[in-house]
A and B are shown apart, each in its own frame.
Chain A
Amino acid sequence: MIERNQVKTKKYGQWISTLFTVLLLAVLGISALFTILFGAKIYENISGRMDDNFNRSTALSYISNKVKQGDRINSVEVKDIDGISTLIITEESESGNYVDMIYCLDGKLMELFTETSNQLDLGDGMEILSLDKADFSVSDKGVIEIVVEDGGKTGNLSLYVRSLQNGREVQAYE
């Protein structure tokens, strides 16, 4: 009788031990799964945010650098060419007069750098990056406002261009 009880208790103990091991294994599996899912979600968030931000901030930095680089008297202007808002930076050098046009066409930020005498149109420009929209405007104070839109989000930057003579007289130093 006592032996029978001992065998029963041992079997019960073994069963509990197996159950506990299986439970632990399940906990390990579920934790691993959640850790992977959590990591994947975070990666997705970060990657999405970077992609979201990259085009807008790169476009703004690129245009800003171009404007600052070409900020000479009467060299920066904003025009609407065929209904497309275009930033025009002209450059005079010994080898000739050049014009650099930055605009957004068919979901791409484009740049057309050519001699002034060339009859190239906006479609001939070089693609810089994907961008839904780019708008340029000039205030009467001589501030160029750049508004870019990509993926439904907008980014904007204002630049005070010393070469614009719209609002104020620009003093030329010899």
Chain B
Amino acid sequence: MSVNTKRGGAMSKVLDSVVAGLVTLFLYGLASSTPAYAGPEADRQAMRAHYEKRFPGIPVEAHKDGVYAFDENAREQWLELEDFPPYEIAVDEGEEFFNIPFADGASYSDCFSDGAVKSQYPYFDEDRSEVITLELAINDCRRQHGEEPLPYNSAEIVRLSAYIAFLSRGQIIAVAEPSSESALAAYNEGKRFYASRRGQLNFACNSCHVQLAGNRLRSEHLSASLGHVSHWPAYRLKWQDVGSLHRRFARCNQQVRAEPFAQQSVEYRNLEYFLTYISNGLPLNGPAIRK
């Protein structure tokens, strides 16, 4: 009997140890799998403070112009280009596309009223549990009216968004603060993407645009993250065409030898969501010209 009791006591101790171990492991796992995220508004304030310190004398809002905010020579050349902007043709073509009626007699204005709606995007759709960008909304509109969606790298969708961006110039970026669990998750995914090193060259987006912003990479200055989303689509001299923000994301990824994601992929939409939120308060100024 006493032997059994002793055995029972020993078993109980072993069980206690196992339970304690499991609880410790669970708590450790919980702690290590849930990083201590700062809230979106704290991120935005921190970014603004970072660039105020990094670029003293340059108002944060000036970063809507990218490197032209602090590179005087490049700014002069850019302003010269703006006299006869190369994106003008794309805007005109976008206007034509915008006004072509769908087969059911409706048109884009049934979805986007007068077209000056850029500041409403991106947003987090709670029902669909995903980030909705302007390009996604354009294709949603087409589907609603029985039209085939446009490929996201097509000239037509880029021109349509260039026209909408042009009509929306001067609107202030004002993305609603992500509050639901799923909206916060999308925001944090975008934030994680921005700060994660990737590609064989082992660079994160924020290696260049936060930590090294203002420095030169070969002959080019590195722009600040704030304002990165304000001026798209943009005419890039390198592309000799107007292209989308996601095309630029892909190119950045390729430059560090990372495999890029598809335009309008969940990854790039979350990234756009994060970048746009931290740019809240800056004016929209697309389409723009960039090297």
Answer yes or no: are A and B bound together in one complex: no
Residues of chain B at the chain A interface (Cβ within 8 Å): none
Residues of chain A at the chain B interface (Cβ within 8 Å): none
